[in-house]
Structure 1
Amino acid sequence: MAVMSELNKLLYQIPKRAEQRHVETLRNTFVDSGVGDALDTIDHQILYGRRGTGKTHALRYLESVRKVAGDLPIYVDLTSLGSPESLFMGQAVDPVERSARLFVDLMGHVHEALLTAALEDEQLLANTSFVSRLDGLLEAVTQVRVTGDIEQSQEGERKAGHSSKGGATAKFSPSSATVSFDTSSASDYNERETEKTVRKGSERRSFNVSDIARALRSIGQALNERRIWLMLDEWIAIPPEAQPYMGELLIRTVSHVPGFTIKIAAIEQQSRFRQELSPGNYIGIELGADAAANLDLDEFMVFEQNEAESRNFFRRLIVSHLIAGIEEKKFNIELPDEETLISKCFTDVRAFDELVRAAEGVPRDALNVLGTAAANAGSNKVSVPDIRKSALSWYQRDKAGALNASPDALALLHWVIDEVIRGKKARGFLVNQKDADSLMLMALFDARVLHLLRRGYSGQDTPGERYNVYVIDYGAYIDLMQTKFAPQGLLPFFDELEPDASSYVDVPPQDLRSVRRAVVDLATFRARASHV
Structure 2
Amino acid sequence: MTWPAFAGPSTLAGVASTRQKHLNQALMRIPRRAESTDRDSLAATYVSAGSFSAMLHSTDHQILYGRRGTGKTHALLHLADLLTQTGDLAVYVDLRTIGSTGGMYGDPTVNLAQRGTHLLVDTLEAMHDELLSTAVEGDGREALLPALDALAEAATSVQVVGQVEHETKVGDAFSQHHGVDLATRGARISAGRQETANRESRLRRSGVEQHHVVFGPLNRALRDIVRALDGSRLWLMLDEWSSVPLDLQPLLADLVRRGILPVAGLTVKIAAIERRCQFRTGPSSGGDYMGIEVGADAAHAASLDDFLLFDHVRSRAQDFFGQLFHNHVSLRLTEMLGEPQSDVLDEMFKRGAFNELVRAAEGVPRDAINIAALAAQNARDEPIGIADIRRAARDWFLRDKQTAIMAHEPARQTLRLLVDEVVGRRGSRTFLISHMACPDTIDELYDARVLHVLRRGVVDRRHPGEMYDAFAVDFGCYVSLLLDGGLSGQPADKSGWLTSARGIPPAGFNFAKEAIDPAKLA
What does 1:198-347 correspond to in 2, within 5 Å? 208-278=214-284, 280-328=287-335, 330-331=336-337, 335-337=341-343, 341-347=344-350
> What does residue 164 of structure 1 align with?
none
Displacement after TM superposition at 1:318 (Å): 0.3
Deviates more, 1:296-305 or 1:477-486: 477-486
> What does residue 509 of structure 1 align with?
505
Deviations 1:327-346 (A, max 9, x none): 44x23577333xxx442111
Q: Aligned AA for 1:35?
A: F
Distance in 1, matches of 2:114 and 2:60, equals 29
Displacement after TM superposition at 1:208 (Å): 4.2
- Judged with a 3 Å threshold, the aligned counterparts in structure 2 of structure 1 residues 455 and 56 are, in CA distance, closer, same or farther, namely same
- Judged with a 3 Å threshold, the aligned counterparts in structure 2 of structure 1 residues 319 and 146 are, in CA distance, closer, same or farther, namely closer
What does 1:455-494 correspond to in 2, within 5 Å? 455-481=456-482, 482-484=485-487, 487-492=490-495
Distance in 1, matches of 2:331 and 2:513, equals 47
The answer as to whether partners of 1:471 and 1:490 remain within 8 angstroms in 2 is no
- Judged with a 3 Å threshold, the aligned counterparts in structure 2 of structure 1 residues 144 and 480 are, in CA distance, closer, same or farther, namely closer
What does 1:64-463 correspond to in 2, within 5 Å? 64-82=81-99, 83-84=101-102, 86-90=104-108, 92-125=109-142, 127=143, 130-143=144-157, 208-278=214-284, 280-328=287-335, 330-331=336-337, 335-337=341-343, 341-348=344-351, 350-436=352-438, 438-463=439-464
**Structure 1: any 5+ residue segments left out of the alignment?**
148-205, 494-502
- Judged with a 3 Å threshold, the aligned counterparts in structure 2 of structure 1 residues 504 and 118 are, in CA distance, closer, same or farther, namely closer
Displacement after TM superposition at 1:413 (Å): 0.2
The answer as to whether partners of 2:114 and 2:160 remain within 8 angstroms in 1 is no
Deviations 1:29-74 (A, max 9, x none): 1001132111101100011100000000000000101111111101
Deviations 1:394-434 (A, max 9, x none): 01110011111101100000000011111101101111111
Displacement after TM superposition at 1:210 (Å): 4.2
Displacement after TM superposition at 1:143 (Å): 4.3
Aligned pair count reads 449
Distance in 2, matches of 1:107 and 1:321, equals 35
> What does residue 15 of structure 1 align with?
31
The answer as to whether partners of 2:360 and 2:476 remain within 8 angstroms in 1 is yes
Identity in percent: 38
Displacement after TM superposition at 1:95 (Å): 3.2
The answer as to whether partners of 2:432 and 2:470 remain within 8 angstroms in 1 is yes
TM-score (norm 2): 0.81
Q: Aligned AA for 1:27?
A: A
The answer as to whether partners of 2:437 and 2:518 remain within 8 angstroms in 1 is yes
Q: Aligned AA for 1:435?
A: A
Distance in 2, matches of 1:485 and 1:380, equals 25
Displacement after TM superposition at 1:222 (Å): 2.1
- SS across alignment from 1:241: coil
Displacement after TM superposition at 1:145 (Å): 9.3
Distance in 2, matches of 1:223 and 1:414, equals 56
TM-score (norm 1): 0.79
Displacement after TM superposition at 1:207 (Å): 8.2
- Judged with a 3 Å threshold, the aligned counterparts in structure 2 of structure 1 residues 422 and 486 are, in CA distance, closer, same or farther, namely farther
Q: Aligned AA for 2:348?
A: C
The answer as to whether partners of 1:12 and 1:372 remain within 8 angstroms in 2 is yes
The higher radius of gyration belongs to: 1
Displacement after TM superposition at 1:261 (Å): 0.6
- SS across alignment from 1:325: helix
- Judged with a 3 Å threshold, the aligned counterparts in structure 2 of structure 1 residues 85 and 311 are, in CA distance, closer, same or farther, namely closer
Q: Aligned AA for 2:224?
A: S
Distance in 1, matches of 2:220 and 2:301, equals 30
Displacement after TM superposition at 1:259 (Å): 1.2
Distance in 2, matches of 1:353 and 1:459, equals 33
- Judged with a 3 Å threshold, the aligned counterparts in structure 2 of structure 1 residues 524 and 142 are, in CA distance, closer, same or farther, namely same
Distance in 2, matches of 1:515 and 1:55, equals 35
RMSD, aligned CA: 2.5
- SS across alignment from 2:125: helix
The answer as to whether partners of 2:454 and 2:471 remain within 8 angstroms in 1 is yes
**Structure 2: any 5+ residue segments left out of the alignment?**
1-16, 162-211
Q: Aligned AA for 2:59?
A: I
Q: Aligned AA for 1:214?
A: R
The answer as to whether partners of 1:140 and 1:207 remain within 8 angstroms in 2 is no
Displacement after TM superposition at 1:480 (Å): 2.0
- SS across alignment from 2:297: coil
Displacement after TM superposition at 1:239 (Å): 0.4
The answer as to whether partners of 1:231 and 1:263 remain within 8 angstroms in 2 is yes
- Judged with a 3 Å threshold, the aligned counterparts in structure 2 of structure 1 residues 478 and 123 are, in CA distance, closer, same or farther, namely same
Deviations 1:337-369 (A, max 9, x none): 3xxx44211111x21110001000000000111
Q: Aligned AA for 1:387?
A: I
> What does residue 516 of structure 2 align with?
520
Distance in 2, matches of 1:425 and 1:236, equals 37
Deviates more, 1:443-452 or 1:516-525: 516-525
Distance in 1, matches of 2:391 and 2:159, equals 59
- SS across alignment from 2:248: helix
Deviates more, 1:477-486 or 1:52-61: 477-486
The answer as to whether partners of 1:55 and 1:265 remain within 8 angstroms in 2 is yes
